[in-house]
Structure 1
Amino acid sequence: MLRLEPRPTPSRWWSYGSPLLALALTVLIGVILFAVLGKDPLRGLQVFFWEPIKSTYALSELGLKATPLLLIALGLAVCFRSNIWNIGAEGQFVVGAIAAGGVAIATDKDVGPWIFLVILLAGTLSGMAWAGITAYLRDKFNAGEILVSLMLVYVAIQLLGYLVYGPWKDPAGYNFPQTRTFDPSDLAPRLLAGLRVNIGLVIALAGSALLWLYLFRTRSGFAQQVGGLAPWAARYAGFSSRKALWVALLISGGTAGLAGALEVTGPIGQLTPYIPAGYGFTAIIVAFVGRLHPLGMVLSAILLSMFYIGGELAQSRLGLPKSISGVFQGLLLFMLLACDTLVNYRIRAGKAGT
């Protein structure tokens, strides 16, 4: 019988290299998968790892995809480091998009550029409020945040569907379930003419720097992490677990709502039923592949964005289903979990205790 035995001192270098090893194994399995599907493996790897970075336009699209993933992952990292499992960032993303879209719809063309800040604030506060429901139920009734936050995703999606199929539906939209397109003053400013990448990328990168300062240079950030690693020690030191719960979920909900606001005011420019793109769930992978560290999450957000774009290109150029990107994401997470397990445990033959 095979069993897992904890290693006395797990290798620090292997711990850091585990995501790279997981990526290498994912690529290897991807090559096998392409061959089994009758596709050229080299062409498949080119679509996933070269096409998204081969030109300025490709890099701008990569930055566009990475923006919501990074923003959501930053907030999730605070939760996970605090041992609070927010699985409902997708719902907070959708609610942030709804609030931002509502403000954009309510404005007219004569409003100045300042309205964009109001739109972002609306998205952020709405995401915080949606996450606050989970925090309240956990705080008052000890409801599991995993189940509550996840179920609220479906409530948010249904709310979006009601609005775009009902009261917010564009009367001049040929009966399509969508709102009117937003005015130019409501849209996120683009960084470069002719490219879709916008100020959201700058906000996400600035958020990474702020998160690093918060986690590693402030007492509040230290308290969040101590509460996650050693709850009893945190209580002994006078840190409030209740405060840690609210802080973690509000930060996470705020970044997800901000990501939703930037998404609808950026590449989409209106509300549609297709706002939920799975970013909230993919950001969980981004957070863990990036080791819950701001710099690591920047790199992992780029990688997962390549998977998103590669999946879209594989659909049009190789005739593969778009879900191939989800396959690569799942493989990466599975390989990371397997590598982390082997870094911390060794496989032994025999009965337990022998």
Structure 2
Amino acid sequence: MAYLSPLLAAGLTIVAGFILFSALGKNPLEAFHTFFIYPIRDLNGIAELLLKASPLMLIAVGLACGYRANVWNIGAEGQLILGAIFAGGVALYFYGSDSKLVLPAMVLAGAVGGMLWASIPAFLRTRFNTNEILVSLMLVYVANLLLSWLVHEPWRDPEGLNFPQSKQFTETALYPMLIEGTRLNFGFLISLAAIAAGYVFLNRSFMGFQMRVAGLADAAAKYAGFSGRRMIWLGIL
């Protein structure tokens, strides 16, 4: 049953797409080829797909932990943006540095930034019983506006021809490439490691067991002495 929903969604997408393209007078098979096959026709296309999937994989791991505990955080985009802002701030602060510690510091700062942003709906939920769905969603727009302000004002590159962008990061602030000639970098391997760690955490740890119990039966979790507030914080962070 766990695999039925995505398979059903994929099947309905194909059926709906077939009907839509046929109604528009287009060949559905050619359209599907353009959408699903053409972008990955070569190594560079596959690398781009994996590159774009890497942050989504990280987001999915974090959200899966929350959903297991019945905590509905849908503001992962905003938390990703804040993580990027914190990491970018470190890169710009140490701009021009040759230290190999810049990249690890960026990773750590990114994690802290995302957790700080996620702590807002967690605090409001546990302190005032607010709806984490609405709070986390609204914070996405705040994060986008904050990023826009940074690249338009204090972080704008004075040599960037007035484009809203920061300075280009130096090599020490970038992940090494995995495949030469493509943009696929070491971040993809980190995402794979995060998936494995998330699986072990949810299915092989006592804390993951607590989260699953809290998500399936809140009353049973309370009876067992599991802290509901703690599960909310863990699920969102």
TM-score range, shorter chain: over 0.9
**How far apart are residue 161 of structure 1 and its match?**
1.3
Per the alignment, in what secondary structure is the counterpart of residue 197 of structure 1? coil
Map of 1:1-354 to 2, 5 A cutoff? 12=1, 16-250=3-237
Kindly provide the CA deviation profile for residues 225-260 of structure 1, in whole angstroms up to 9, marking residues without a partner as x. Answer: 10011011001111111110111111xxxxxxxxxx
Letter in 2 for 1:209: A
Cα distance in structure 2, aligned partners of 1:158 and 1:110: 29
**How far apart are residue 21 of structure 1 and its match?**
2.7
Change beyond 3 A, Cα 1:18–1:161: closer
What runs of 5+ residues in structure 2 fail to find an aligned partner?
Answer: none
Cα distance in structure 2, aligned partners of 1:139 and 1:17: 34
CA contact (8 A) 2:87 2:107 kept: yes
Change beyond 3 A, Cα 1:103–1:212: same
**How far apart are residue 54 of structure 1 and its match?**
2.4
Runs of 4+ aligned residues of structure 1 deviating over 4 Å after TM superposition are none
Cα distance in structure 1, aligned partners of 2:9 and 2:151: 41
Per the alignment, in what secondary structure is the counterpart of residue 113 of structure 1? coil
Cα distance in structure 1, aligned partners of 2:13 and 2:95: 49
Kindly provide the CA deviation profile for residues 268-308 of structure 1, in whole angstroms up to 9, marking residues without a partner as x. Answer: xxxxxxxxxxxxxxxxxxxxxxxxxxxxxxxxxxxxxxxxx
**How far apart are residue 134 of structure 1 and its match?**
0.9
Letter in 1 for 2:16: I
In the alignment of these two chains, the number of paired residues is: 237
Q: What TM-score comes out, normalization by structure 2 length? A: 0.96
CA contact (8 A) 2:79 2:140 kept: yes
CA contact (8 A) 2:95 2:169 kept: no
Aligned-pair identity (%): 51
Cα distance in structure 1, aligned partners of 2:113 and 2:175: 18
**How far apart are residue 20 of structure 1 and its match?**
1.4
Letter in 2 for 1:81: R
**How well do the aligned residues superpose, as a CA RMSD in angstroms?**
1.3
Kindly provide the CA deviation profile for residues 43-73 of structure 1, in whole angstroms up to 9, marking residues without a partner as x. Answer: 1111122123322111111101111111101
Letter in 2 for 1:192: I
What runs of 5+ residues in structure 1 fail to find an aligned partner?
Answer: 1-11, 251-354
Cα distance in structure 1, aligned partners of 2:25 and 2:164: 38
Cα distance in structure 2, aligned partners of 1:210 and 1:90: 21
CA contact (8 A) 2:78 2:140 kept: yes
Kindly provide the CA deviation profile for residues 150-203 of structure 1, in whole angstroms up to 9, marking residues without a partner as x. Answer: 111111111111111111111111111111111111112111111111111111
